[in-house]
Amino acid sequence: MSYLSPFSAIKFLFKKPVTVRYPKEEKKVSPIYRGFHTNDLDKCIGCGDCEAVCQCNAISMEPVEGKVAEPGKSNLSPVIDYGRCSYCGLCVEACPTNSLQMSKDFRYLSADTDSFRWRPDSTHSENPGFTVDKETSILDFERKSPDMLPAEKSMVSFAEQVKVYSKELAIAEANRCIECGLCAENCPINMRIPEYIAAIAEGDFEKSAKYIYEDNTLPGICGRVCTKHCEDVCALGEQGDPIAIRFLKRVPLEEIDYNSVIKPAVKDTKSKKVAIIGGGPSALTAAYDLSRWGYKTTVFEKNSSPGGAMLLCIPEYRLPIKAGLKDIDFLMSFGAELKLNTEIGKDIAFAEIMSEYDAVFLGIGLWKPTVPKMNVENHPKIVYAIDYLSKNKLGEKEFTGDNVVVIGGGNVAIDAARVAKRAQIIDNGHEGNVILASLEEREKMPAWADEIEAALEEHIEFNNGWGIDNIDADSKEIKGLSVKKVISMFDEQGRFNPSYDTANTLYLEADQIIIAAGQQPSFSFIPQDMMNKIEFAGRKIKVDSNGATSLPKLFAGGDIANRKGDIVSAIRDGHSAAVGIDKLLG
């Protein structure tokens, strides 16, 4: 041992110490230190992805006191057990809303082990540490879209614009899904969306199709034109693109044979008879369920084809008739009798139907156009969108002018405008002008945003916030119309009652006007004594949870009974009414 060794330590007296004199001195940590979590509860949607990815089982989703679940948001938020947490940060990387982060706070002392488990909130947000954004997240926020015909090719034909996914691209898109289930909760028929998308991700299309058919009777149709309430609340849509749930639904159905894969149980034949009036989605769904359950079911449809406005009015480039009939033919294969070209009240009396059948379902849809106030009536060059669309869909060539004005702001108005543009090019041989005039401003139009965008790409001109003032016409021709500026859409009581600035007008040249101001039902076939027994809620038939009306053994669904006005809600109504009829007839 050297006698000089103790003196060698003297050289360290004047050097800066390496260790931190904690707690007298504050320990410096990395700017991205992974300490206790912080969670912005206003941004948190309660999807549970953090719980799903946690490898330590340290996270549980638990209800937040006083928080009410709403579309796209559950009433849950993560609770973290810091006795289990490894501070890996995987939960933060998987958070689709970026609400969950980690702070630089890490000190906590307690003899109570239960106290190491708590719900993160914004307590530690003033000392931020590890966080991610959508560029560094492990989630994929960018949609893999199916092929689409570009506007310059789509607008010159009625070919289907959105193509079906390739298998490879469908699997890639399905793999983006975090399976949170918020989509299923917002679906009117609560489809098992995470399950069927997971099956697509696995490449198991038969399994996916079986999940789809558990609830959705018209998946090929919904895979093209569904209102996609599910996508509206998709967790990935918070920072990026929602999963293409609507278009993915179509993939398994293109890959399988319906009859060999989908085999719903069929019950023994019953003696009871059920009449279905109408051929739209609610009626077809009710007929499908009831025929499978053994009831003698007859569908009465006034048109030459089933499908209602869904099939006969949605343009061919969005929903080809062949694709729609594939869905419908499958439903009818379970034994329901289909009587086409049979109009109730004309070919057979409603009272006779009510007398001969043990239960009746009414799903007639909205075929009567709403007529706005106009100074010209019954003019050959003023047509209604629902008639214009159905005739064009069925190949009955209608006159289409070179200067067309469409009145309306919903999807039907957009459809009419886009069909008119194609008719100009295909039938007239050149592109004319198509103007859409709506009461609503652009951001408040009820039409879907993607449909508005598609119309703009096809050179449809929009004039928003205008209503009809005066139509300039003689007995045969239209010259144009003046429109007046809308001041407000609703009165002080919140009722639809537009007011206008009559001094602020605009003249639009037109040789044809297409009215798309809405539709309403026609109950003229129902005898007055029966009508008096049917209770209404506003303009809709009032029904209970099983679709029963106040008139004994009469059920109703679809657009005449609900305010959603979409296919998937009509499918729900058909299922509910079938259950109600089954309860009634037992």
For the stretch 199-252, pLDDT in tens is 999 999 999 999 999 999 999 999 999 999 999 999 999 999 999 999 999 999
Token pair of 459 as six digits: 């050179």
Query: What is the distance between the alpha carbons of residues 376 and 474, in angstroms, rounded to a whole number?
Result: 9
Contact 277, 361 (CB under 8 A): yes
Give tens-digit pLDDT for 507-543.
Answer: 999 999 999 999 999 999 999 999 999 999 988 999 9
What residues does CATH 1.10.1060.10 cover in the chain?
Answer: 151-261
Token pair of 72 as six digits: 């796209």
Query: What is the distance between the alpha carbons of residues 454 and 465, in angstroms, rounded to a whole number?
Result: 20
* β 273-277/296-300 pair status: parallel
Token pair of 166 as six digits: 């390739």
> Residue 394: what are its φ and ψ, rounded to 5°?
-90, 5
Give tens-digit pLDDT for 371-397.
Answer: 999 999 899 999 999 999 999 999 888
Mean pLDDT estimate for the chain: 94
Please tell me which residue, 583 or 265, carries the higher pLDDT value.
583
Which residue in 218, 276, 43, 167 sits closest to 568, CA to CA?
218
pLDDT band at 113 (very low <50, low <70, confident <90, very high): confident
Q: What is the 3-state secondary structure (H, E, C) of 388-399?
A: HHHHHHCCCCCC
Q: Which helix (H) or strand (E) holds 540?
A: strand 540-541
Lowest mean pLDDT among 18-22, 379-383, 422-426: 18-22
Query: What is the distance between the alpha carbons of residues 284 and 303, in angstroms, rounded to a whole number?
Result: 14
Give tens-digit pLDDT for 257-308.
Answer: 877 788 888 888 899 999 999 999 999 999 999 999 999 999 999 999 999 9
Fold annotation for 151-261: Fumarate Reductase Iron-sulfur Protein; Chain B, domain 2 (1.10.1060)
Which residue in 126, 121, 164 sits closest to 145, CA to CA?
164
Residue 492 pLDDT exceeds 60 = yes
Residue 3 pLDDT exceeds 70 = no
Residue 561 pLDDT exceeds 80 = yes
> Residue 73: what are its φ and ψ, rounded to 5°?
-140, 130
Contact 131, 101 (CB under 8 A): yes
Residue 41 pLDDT exceeds 80 = yes
pLDDT for the residue numbered 27: 74
pLDDT for the residue numbered 566: 94
pLDDT band at 1 (very low <50, low <70, confident <90, very high): low
pLDDT for the residue numbered 16: 76
Please tell me which residue, 3 or 174, carries the higher pLDDT value.
174
3-class DSSP assignment, residue 468: strand
Residue 17 pLDDT exceeds 80 = no
Query: What is the distance between the alpha carbons of residues 526 and 533, in angstroms, rounded to a whole number?
Result: 11
Q: What CA–CA distances, in Å, run from 179 to 51, 195, 234, 518, 551? A: 12, 8, 10, 37, 43
Residue 330 pLDDT exceeds 60 = yes
> Residue 150: what are its φ and ψ, rounded to 5°?
-65, 160
pLDDT band at 38 (very low <50, low <70, confident <90, very high): very high
State the average pLDDT over residues 402-409: 97
pLDDT band at 5 (very low <50, low <70, confident <90, very high): low
Query: What is the distance between the alpha carbons of residues 187 and 193, in angstroms, rounded to a whole number?
Result: 9
What residues does CATH 3.30.70.3270 cover in the chain?
Answer: 27-139
pLDDT band at 15 (very low <50, low <70, confident <90, very high): confident
Tally of residues, the chain = 586
Q: Which residues contact 274 (CB under 8 A, 6 or more apart)?
A: 290, 295, 296, 297, 298, 357, 358, 359, 360, 361, 581, 585
Query: Looking at domain 368-519, which of 3.40.50.1100, 3.50.50.60, 3.40.50.300, 3.40.50.360 is its CATH number?
Result: 3.50.50.60
What residues does CATH 3.50.50.60 cover in the chain?
Answer: 273-366+523-585, 368-519
pLDDT band at 6 (very low <50, low <70, confident <90, very high): low
pLDDT for the residue numbered 260: 79
pLDDT for the residue numbered 116: 94
Fold annotation for 273-366+523-585: FAD/NAD(P)-binding domain (3.50.50)
CATH class of the domain whose range is 27-139: alpha beta
